[in-house]
Amino acid sequence: MPSALSETKLREWMQKAGPRLISLSASICRDRHMAEEVVQEAFVKLWRKPPDAGEVAFTSWLRRVVTNLSINALQRTKRPGPLPDFSTDPAMQSTRRPGAGGDVDESLERVDAAIDRLDEPKRAILALRAYEQLSYEEIAQHLDIPVGTVMSRLNRARTALLEELKQDFKHPEDEPLIFDIRNYKKA
């Protein structure tokens, strides 16, 4: 059985992994306050009962716990709105300037709105792939599911996102809508 974490070690992990975990949770919850609560709960779990594999497993364990807690938190509450653009957290701010690249800004807003309309598990798997840039194998390990299941869930999530985007983007009917989720990342 692993020994309890010292407060000093916990503080180090909070400083090291906290901002990235909040970004992950916020990409799923679409609510900064809820994301902070989820990450705090994850660190409490880490402090009380760290993973058996020791400190080498903390990063993946925390990512898994934050993902699951984020989905659970959303299922307990009504769907939140999109994140405000006036966040003071540098990890949550965009490097886009107002008025610069208006078409790009409008397109990103539409993609954000389409992602907001997806259910939580679809947003979570897209966030792990697009924001966290995890491989299929890493996602499978993270969610404790087979790689084939990751592939099918990602496919369903991408298909659902495309359907949502079709509602927002106007394009000629004879021209297919092509959207690569890997190209959509906020700075």
Which of the two residues, 169 and 98, has the higher pLDDT score?
Answer: 169
User: Token digits for 2?
Assistant: 């692993």
127-158 burial: b if 16+ Cβ within 10 Å, else e: bbbbbbebeeebbbebbeeeeeebeebbeebb
**Domain end: 27, 46, 80, which one?**
80
pLDDT in tens, 19-77: 999 988 888 888 888 889 999 999 888 888 888 777 777 888 888 899 889 888 877 77
pLDDT band (50, 70, 90) for residue 170: low
CA distance 52 to 63: 16
pLDDT score, position 161: 87
107 and 187 both lie in a single domain:
yes
Domain with 113 in it = 102-187
- Claim to verify: residue 48 and residue 123 sit in the same structural domain: no
pLDDT digits (tens, 9 = 90+) for 124-146: 888 888 878 888 888 888 888 88
Q: Give DSSP secondary structure letters for the chain.
A: -PPPPPHHHHHHHHHHHHHHHHHHHHHHHS-HHHHHHHHHHHHHHHHHS--TT-GGGHHHHHHHHHHHHHHHHHHHSPPP-PPPTT---TTT---PPTTTTHHHHHHHHHHHHHHHTS-HHHHHHHIIIIIS---HHHHHHHHTS-HHHHHHHHHHHHHHHHHHHHHH----TTS-----GGG----
- pLDDT for the residue 82: 52
Same domain for 186 and 107, yes or no, is: yes
Residue 125 lies in a domain: yes
pLDDT band at 78 (very low <50, low <70, confident <90, very high): low
109-124 tens-digit pLDDT: 777 788 888 888 888 8
Last residue of a domain, one of 50, 80, 110: 80
Predicted confidence (pLDDT) at residue 2 exceeds the cutoff of 50: yes
Instruction: Judge whether 86 lies within some domain.
Output: no
Q: Is 5 left (phi over 0), alpha (psi -120 to 50) or beta?
A: beta
Q: Would the CA dihedral through 161, 128, 43, 93 be positive or negative?
A: negative
- Is the pLDDT score of 187 beyond 50? no
Assess whether 106 and 170 both reside in one domain. Answer: yes
- The number of residues in the chain equals 187
User: Do 66 and 119 fall into the same domain?
Assistant: no
